[in-house]
Structure 1
């Protein structure tokens, strides 16, 4: 069954000088009212300043009742995993099991390298910190004494509270290069890229499921997600101008550079529906949508078009 998510514009609001959170929480409530299945928040300390995702999602959890919520994506390597385990467990309690933890390692670009340096974290060690840190979180989420000797050390350490869901929230990992796909299938609960075309998605998802099978895991238990950016407008040229302006402002590089790395659509809603359906046909079951400008209008357009997306 298709599930649709909406990314809250935390970065965009900071870029426009709007640091308050009331309008963001209202958008989360609106997404729930429109029938979206999930609402998401991105993560960055200094490279792309925005609200802290875990803190903001706690407020979202308190303001909503049914919608799932997640990070798209959190950079666990920037955080001590023991502290992170407690934060996530508490958030999952507030959300009553509606949390999804999307995680990633961060793109190798200068401002993200600088962000890691500012946090006192070696950028080159981020993959190991991600995998070990998430394994440690899962161990602590069991609520039993943990002995750990690795990057972090502890003896008979017990964390409380435990998450609402036994074992903690599902962890989806981003990245579409071969090692990331292998990690997704071998270690995590879902795959959450933003780079593959629909044709590439089908092939790469097969790699994820093959890695799961090789590791003795059931691929049917993995979530197949995708992060997409859209500018929906009846005027296609206006939509193209808007998404180019948006991407350049968001990332600080030419839009054509970003559009080679991330999948984007600009144009009328019927074209957006056809484009999204290509990913559904390729195997994606949870699509997280980021809108360039006018979030509420575009949320409403997608909500009206949902029967077409589901073939109804």
Structure 2
């Protein structure tokens, strides 16, 4: 599909309503008998409803459509929405090959890619992935930062280049695929530990955490901006985003029961445990709107919502409900 005149860098990386959706790429979110190819029309419907970002997450621990494969499928058929990762785990891929894949998606989308990255979490949601990738858990943050630095170098080099970091070392890398976006797509960081906040401010183009309390979001964003200023960067250039699980329900009690089922299916955690570590908003539309507005007031300009539903018909219903309430956010 040809991109129209509204497509491309003028709308990138975060303009319009500031509302994105995490696509239900995990098999637990499709429902039995569903066709995962339905994810493409689902994304198109989201764009039609006014969502201006389509995000995917990344893992090897549960069956899902691979993140970059999903974005490549969406690049030529979507028109305006930012295509994002939330979050990509670069250690799952060879770094030079990943640079080529990301540049290719940015080219195919006309410069609409935004890449949030992370290094994984301690425990069963992170460390086993390093074992599968045959990489050490130690120095994972240094590996992540150097991978991003390597990508940026490959995306801007005029010819063969070498990279000598503390963890990554490459000599005579051939010329790489150039992204559509000059300098490469923006790269955001997930995470909200003190070290992550400092690194986001020093090295990254945006911040995508999921703190359970809006007050913690405000405090974290201040720390990111202070780190940016201390590093001689423009603090206002760092995109402030939020990853949040949302379920619009007739009442809070029924919504909590449904989200508890969702949390157990996707994480093996009950809702009460999930709420301790992630932003979760449940209830009637007015309550959901008020809670999301608190995050907006705390500084989040991009909301990436994960819809708490376990089959595609319910995902479509939630997609419509959240789109309706978004007009009341400011």
- Which TM-score bucket, shorter chain as reference? over 0.9
**TM-score, structure 1 normalization:** 0.94
For residue 11 of structure 1, what is the aligned residue in structure 2?
Answer: 26
Once the two structures are TM-superposed, the CA of residue 270 in structure 1 deviates from its matched residue by: 0.8
Q: 1:15 and 1:107, CA in 2 relative to 1: closer, same or farther beyond 3 A? A: farther
Q: In structure 1, how many angstroms separate the alpha carbons of the residues matched to 2:32 and 2:163?
A: 43
SS at match of 1:168: coil
Once the two structures are TM-superposed, the CA of residue 92 in structure 1 deviates from its matched residue by: 0.6
Give the counterpart of 1:174 among 190, 207, 211.
190
Give the counterpart of 2:202 among 144, 162, 186.
186
Equivalent residues in 2 for 1:144-223 (5 A)? Answer: 144=158, 145-150=160-165, 151-223=167-239
For residue 143 of structure 1, what is the aligned residue in structure 2?
Answer: 157
- 2:324 corresponds to 1:304: yes
Q: How many positions carry a matched residue from both structures?
A: 309
Q: In structure 2, how many angstroms separate the alpha carbons of the residues matched to 1:147 and 1:122?
A: 23
Q: 1:116 and 1:154, CA in 2 relative to 1: closer, same or farther beyond 3 A? A: closer
- 2:62 corresponds to 1:42: no
**Superimposed CA distance per residue, residues 106-139 of structure 1 (whole angstroms, 9 cap, x where no aligned partner):** 1112253112101111122321110001100100
Give the counterpart of 1:54 among 51, 59, 68.
68
For residue 117 of structure 1, what is the aligned residue in structure 2?
Answer: 131
- 2:38 corresponds to 1:23: yes
- 2:240 corresponds to 1:231: no
Once the two structures are TM-superposed, the CA of residue 99 in structure 1 deviates from its matched residue by: 0.5
CA contact (8 A) 2:23 2:39 kept: yes
Which structure dedicates a bigger proportion of its chain to helix? 1
CA contact (8 A) 1:78 1:121 kept: no
Once the two structures are TM-superposed, the CA of residue 159 in structure 1 deviates from its matched residue by: 3.0
Once the two structures are TM-superposed, the CA of residue 11 in structure 1 deviates from its matched residue by: 1.4
Give the counterpart of 2:315 among 295, 307, 312.
295
Q: In structure 2, how many angstroms separate the alpha carbons of the residues matched to 1:257 and 1:14?
A: 20
- 2:97 corresponds to 1:83: yes
Give the counterpart of 1:93 among 71, 90, 107.
107
Structure 2: where are the runs of 5+ without partners? Answer: 1-14
SS at match of 2:157: coil
Q: In structure 1, how many angstroms separate the alpha carbons of the residues matched to 2:75 and 2:151?
A: 21
Structure 1: where are the runs of 5+ without partners? Answer: none
Q: 1:10 and 1:62, CA in 2 relative to 1: closer, same or farther beyond 3 A? A: same
Q: In structure 1, how many angstroms separate the alpha carbons of the residues matched to 2:216 and 2:124?
A: 27
Once the two structures are TM-superposed, the CA of residue 281 in structure 1 deviates from its matched residue by: 0.5
Q: 1:19 and 1:121, CA in 2 relative to 1: closer, same or farther beyond 3 A? A: farther
Tell me how large the CA RMSD over aligned residues is.
Answer: 1.6
**TM-score, structure 2 normalization:** 0.89
Once the two structures are TM-superposed, the CA of residue 55 in structure 1 deviates from its matched residue by: 0.8
